[in-house]
Structure 1
């Protein structure tokens, strides 16, 4: 299967050469304006299928609230705010995303979820959160983001830096499938298409390895198969304590 996979991947890369040229010429900037609208609509479908998983994950958030104060939460790659409904009452939320065009869709989620206190929206990549102080938040949340960042270990280390001691990094991500499966084959073959049409998404990342190597004091991580498209069906979910 390995030889066939490499041949098919090469064919797909050749087919996507026009997309590479368009990206190099800066034409991808227009797509960044369109992408938030697509993701806003996708979030409704994804949330309906993953609602129970998200509820189960974010049920753990209150345990990291400081005694006598509200939970201070930073969401990296917040997109349109699809997670807000799961955050506890009074939670103080700071949002970051590298794409400024998410802001209007983010505002819709803010208006709907008025049980939260919104501190700030910062246009910044997950690899560079210098606007957030060291040891300043209780929880960092990252869902469906680590598939498209440029440097996964750097994002995780930035999250660890801004967490207070005893704070937690919450994650829900699609990842690379088992190498013995056809999903793994398809992920590698169609990765170039996904990269250009899903704003840098890479379905072939073994993200759990970076989390295991990040040096957290405790890592609660589970693999599962999400009830969605085969290419992004393999998921990991959990939290890591600083």
Structure 2
């Protein structure tokens, strides 16, 4: 089985060789960054339709972490602002995403969700939140973002830094399937092509293990089978308290 997976992975790498060459030449990433926000805007509508109940149940707990001055949320990998509809009334939101082309979509989402106060949009990777002060956030949110991070451990470390004591990190993330399943096999085989068309997404990450070894005082996490495409249907939902 391992040999078959290796051979198939090599074949897929050969098939995406033109894209690999475009990336090496510095052509692929700029083009994809411009196209991706348009694609994600439509995909996010579908995801919210299917995952709305899960998001509502999770984000209904956000007010529990408000401070005396209200609730300030940092959303890492904010995309088009698809989570705004589920945030509590009166909250302040700071958004970070490495793709500056999301700004227009984010502002549009902010205008449609008047119960949310969009404070600012910062262009940065989640592994570097240096533009934000330590202990300045009541809550940090990531949904389908940790799969694309260059260094998940570094991102989580930054999340813990910017959270105030008692603040919480909320997440909905897809994870690798059980290694005894065909889905696990398929995830590894298609990964070479998925990373290019999924904005650097890794289907093969055990994100739960990363969160479990992070320095959260409490970690509430559950596994769900989401009503989404098979390769990302295994997901973890929950929050960790600093």
Q: TM-score range by the shorter chain?
A: over 0.9
Pairing 1:119–2:119 present: yes
Looking at structure 1, the residues matched to 147 and 189 of structure 2 have their Cα atoms a distance apart, in angstroms, of 16
2:49 corresponds in structure 1 to 48
Q: CA deviation at 1:14?
A: 1.6
Looking at structure 1, the residues matched to 184 and 81 of structure 2 have their Cα atoms a distance apart, in angstroms, of 30
**Structure 2 counterparts to residues 144-183 of structure 1, below 5 A:** 144-183=144-183
2:40 corresponds in structure 1 to 39
Q: CA deviation at 1:198?
A: 1.4
- Could you tell me which runs of 5 or more consecutive residues in structure 1 were left unpaired when the two chains were aligned: none
Q: How many residues align?
A: 241
2:93 corresponds in structure 1 to 93
RMSD: 0.8
Looking at structure 1, the residues matched to 65 and 133 of structure 2 have their Cα atoms a distance apart, in angstroms, of 18
Q: CA deviation at 1:3?
A: 2.1
1:200 corresponds in structure 2 to 200
1:12 corresponds in structure 2 to 12
Pairing 1:185–2:185 present: yes
Secondary structure of 2:133's partner?
coil
Looking at structure 2, the residues matched to 145 and 154 of structure 1 have their Cα atoms a distance apart, in angstroms, of 13
Looking at structure 2, the residues matched to 31 and 55 of structure 1 have their Cα atoms a distance apart, in angstroms, of 31
Pairing 1:132–2:151 present: no
- Could you tell me which runs of 5 or more consecutive residues in structure 2 were left unpaired when the two chains were aligned: none
Q: CA deviation at 1:2?
A: 2.2
